[in-house]
Amino acid sequence: MKLFRRNREPDSESPRRREALLRDGDGGSRVGLAALGIIILLIASLVLTAASFRNIPAGHKGVILSSPSGPNREEINEGWTVNLGYMFSDIRVVRYNVQTRDMIGSQGNSLTIRSSDNLNVHMDLSVVYHFPGNRVADIWIEYGDPLEIIDRYTRAVPRDVASNFTGEYIGGIGRIVVEDEIQRELTAALGTYTIVVDDVLVRDVDLPDTVDIAIEEKLAAQQKVVTAELERQAIVIRAMAEADRVRLEAEGIRNATVLKANGTAAAMRLLIETLKFEDPTLVNATWAYLTLLYIQALSDPNSNISFIIITDGGVPIIIQPNP
């Protein structure tokens, strides 16, 4: 009979081995925890460092609206800036250079005003403005969002101005006047908030259809009046020109007659001087003049002058130089 020997299996590990294993496990855990802590510290450092940087674009200012010490009236200038306090601050990046605020119906931001004759007029308006660079923080801290202020007055001021003018005037010849008045009042109103208005542009004025038709008819009638007045002036100018022409022509004839008469008188004087040797006392001036005419008739082939000479016997003799 064979006896089988049964191998003896230990019920548990020896105490030394168990302690060694526990020591190895504790060391690995400690190393892992340390590495995790380092990683967490690195991430936190990066987050804190990134939160301390601020990049302000050109034409903008950074405004600290809240921080552990409260709002700060000193603006953050353009460019990169680092400050550990920024991690705990609410910073608003605000544009301060020249910009435009539109009130345009096609963009869903319509502006309706009422004229003095109770007409609803739709107006498209643009306001060009800017903030002083050293007052951006003051404006935000004291008054809040300036765009709300600009929108409020951009709606209120045109309505106040329009109430002083008729719809026809606003949409017609008075458009520039209304635009200037809106700019003047808007500049004064926003100036109290240190907001500078550079320009106000009335881009479009939409009147009711009935008013547009009436304005067109009125302009057409005015154009007819202007045309008639121009035609009348043209007739007057032509008449004056004709009168001047007739006057100048008459003056020319008169001057020619005077010159001719002066020439005749000069010829008579010359003839009389020539004939003085026959009549030294110059008693018979008529005879001298007839002598001149007679000489002219003899030298002019087209002359039709006839002379009647009374002889000593009383018999008239008719002389026809050119029969």
Q: 85-142: per-residue pLDDT in tens?
A: 777 778 889 999 999 999 887 777 778 889 888 888 889 999 999 999 899 999 999 9
The count of C-alpha atoms lying within 13 angstroms of the C-alpha of 283, restricted to the half-sphere facing its C-beta, is 3
- The ranges of the chain with pLDDT < 70 are 1-32, 42, 44-53, 84, 210-212, 215-216, 219, 267-323
Of all residues in the chain, the percent with pLDDT exceeding 90 is: 24
- Residue 243 CA: distances (Å) to CA of 70, 150, 232, 317: 91, 66, 16, 50
pLDDT at 95: 92
Neighbours of 78 (CB within 10 A): 15
pLDDT at 4: 45
Query: What are the helix (H) ranges across the chain?
Result: 15-51, 136-143, 146-162, 167-171, 175-191, 209-274, 285-299
Token pair of 298, please? 């003899």
pLDDT at 91: 84
pLDDT at 2: 46
Ramachandran category for residue 132: left, alpha or beta (phi over 0 → left; psi -120 to 50 → alpha): beta
Whose CA is closest to 170, among 127, 133, 208? Answer: 208
| 184 beta partners | none
pLDDT at 105: 78
At residue 239, φ and ψ (nearest 5 deg) are -65, -40
pLDDT at 108: 74
pLDDT at 3: 45
At residue 139, φ and ψ (nearest 5 deg) are -65, -45
Please give the DSSP secondary-structure letter assigned to residue 1: -
